[in-house]
Amino acid sequence: MRLDKYLKEMRVATRSEAHTLIRDGHVNVNGVVAKQGRQSIDPDQDTVLVGGQPVVYQRYFYFLLNKPVAVVTATTDKTAQTVMNLFNKADYRDDLFPVGRLDKDTTGALLITNNGELGHRLTNPKHHVTKVYQAIVTGTLTEDDVAQVAAGVTLKDGTVLKPADMKLGAYDPVLDQTTIQLTLTEGKYHQVKRMVGSFGQRVVRLERLSFGPLKLSTGLLPGHYRALSEEEVNALKAAADFTKD
């Protein structure tokens, strides 16, 4: 990797700022003052100092975002605000992307990363990575509906869903609404809405509480995000049976 690109990738400086730092003798590679931005380095082997401080290489980045309503789960969109628009300049990277998809009116836990292979494995149904949702639905659901979900619901179009877990929560007689919690291991298009629709009801509000081992904490407000800890990243890799660095 070019030295100037390395400094840009590690958020030390822009390309032009990197050239200035190098020109002024502030960048050191393996104990030698760097002379040119196009100098080639090995990020995994070489030691880079800027102003005497080490610049540690980080290949992959992981964030948990609390997705708000009216925001599209995409990297770009011509008309709507996307989840990537919620990132500040210091954290935004061109290679970041959302893992999986939450509908525009669905809120909650969304993983953002630039680790494509891990992201693919986390969304592959064969790895059985669980997603927990809380929904407010119209009317009431029954224990028979719970049993159908546990056996695997067949949707109106013939789609057969994998067995899942549904817990019935409080019923609001004034609004005629019921709170439910669903634990799924797949993510078909509009799955929760279509599942609830198969019981003759409609989803009023939907929030994803967790994605695999990542749980949405009350301190993470809608529209905000945080970097994952090393323990959380390792837990994600274990959930997807992912053994690479």
CB 85 within 8 A of CB 76: no
Give dist(CA 241, CA 243) in Å, integer.
6
Start-end of H helices in the chain? 3-9, 15-23, 116-123, 143-151, 191-197, 230-239
Place of tokens 């494995």: 121
Backbone phi, psi, residue 192, to 5°: -65, -45
Label the pairing between strands 107-113 and 203-211: parallel
- Tell me which residues are annotated as active site: 103
CB 41 within 8 A of CB 48: yes
Tell me which DSSP letter residue 229 carries: P
Which stretches does DSSP call E strand in the chain? Answer: 27-29, 32-33, 48-50, 53-54, 62-67, 97-98, 107-113, 131-138, 165-172, 177-184, 203-211, 214-215, 225-227
**Rounded to 5°, angle at Cα 110 from 105 and 112:** 130
